[in-house]
Homo-oligomer: A and B are copies of this chain.
Amino acid sequence: MGDGVGAVFGALADPSRRYLVERLADLGAATPTELAGELPMTRQAVAKHLATLAHAGLVHGTREGRNTVYRPDPAPLRDATAWLDRVGAQWDERLAALARHVGRASS
């Protein structure tokens, strides 16, 4: 996986991880075992997914007593959105340039 935006897109490519992000965005905070209870997989698998999400900066886990609480971080989402917007704008700008060219040709 690439760094920065690449890690975010890579993390969001897996449906289980997207579910975890949605669930954490809804709950605000949760432990791996809580989340594992809602998914058809082992706690360790969920922990790995959370580690991937943490590596992408989408969640952060802090140890509180004997259980670790994970909280979401929306900042990388904005980075990913920024990339999408940039490419979309690039596309639109090219379309506009094409329209200008066509308009000049037809005038």
A→B interface (CB under 8 Å)? 1-2, 5-6, 9-10, 12-15, 18, 21-22, 25-26, 28, 72, 74, 77-78, 80-81, 83-85, 87-88, 90-92, 94, 98
Contact = CB atoms under 8 A, between A and B. Distances in A.
Majority DSSP secondary structure for residues of A touching B: helix
Nearest to A80: B84
B14 A2 contact: yes
Nearest to A85: B81
B88 A78 contact: yes
A28 B84 contact: no
Nearest to A28: B94
A87 B90 CA distance: 25
B84 A72 contact: no
Nearest to A78: B88
Given A81-B84, A85-B81, A15 B6 contact: yes
Given A72-B91, A81-B81, A91-B74, A13 B21 contact: no
